[in-house]
A = this chain, B = another copy of it.
Amino acid sequence: MEFSSKLLEKAVNEMAQLPGIGKRTALRLVLHLLKQPSEQTQFLSQALTTMREEIKFCSSCHNISDVEVCEICNNPNRNHKIICVVEDVRDVMAIENTNQFKGIYHVLGGKISPIDGVGPSQLNIDSLVEKVKSGEIEELIFALSSTMEGDTTNFYIFKRIKDYSIKTSTIARGIAVGDELEYADEVTLGRSILNRVPFENTLKNI
């Protein structure tokens, strides 16, 4: 791709560093910004820079926060004895949207993945183990995605805390609500039968 302007080229190249944005898409986005009032570009650049410089991570759960300890960890109405272990901030937002969980979170910041060069030391695992050691936690809920990396991470954490008396659980795997049985894969269907729940329980959720 040849550009008639170095400025344009640089902007496109920087934009194309974002995941899932190729050169063509980057050019489309940049040309769109050129057509809009220059304030829009200013606002975007400013919002990104301010966010990157000033954003904090909750010192307790590592969730993104504007203050030292995030709203969830600071909320006395939540059960601080149940910790839901998630991969990243998006998972916290997703679970919060369900309104079903009233405990607190612990954001690992990724999954153990040797292929991507991510080991346990790069994740917020030590601080989680410290919390468990403190004896104030009753239950850990593993809510990582059920991939090989997710399972490895679950197992690694489990091994490090298994000597402390603490309940551990994982979120249920099964057929998604509204899905047809015939299209489900065997592993999921198998697990949904193994982990069947008393029928009375489902009545409560309706």
Contact = CB atoms under 8 A, between A and B. Distances in A.
Interface of A: 1-8, 10-11, 13-15, 17-21, 25, 27-34, 38, 40-56, 63-66, 70-72, 88-90, 92-93, 96-97
Given A4-B72, A29-B19, A64-B4, A52 B48 contact: no
Nearest to A38: B52
- Interface class of chain A by DSSP: helix
A66 B10 CA distance: 12
Contact of A96 (B2, B15, B88): B2
Nearest to A110: B35
Contact of A2 (B1, B21, B49, B93): B93
A10 to B, nearest CB: 5
Contact of A42 (B31, B52, B70): B52
A34 B47 contact: no
A104 to B, nearest CB: 12
B7 A66 contact: yes
A52 B33 contact: yes
Contacts of A48: 11, 14-15, 30, 33, 41, 44-45
A44 to B, nearest CB: 4
B63 A31 contact: no
Contacts of A38: 52-53
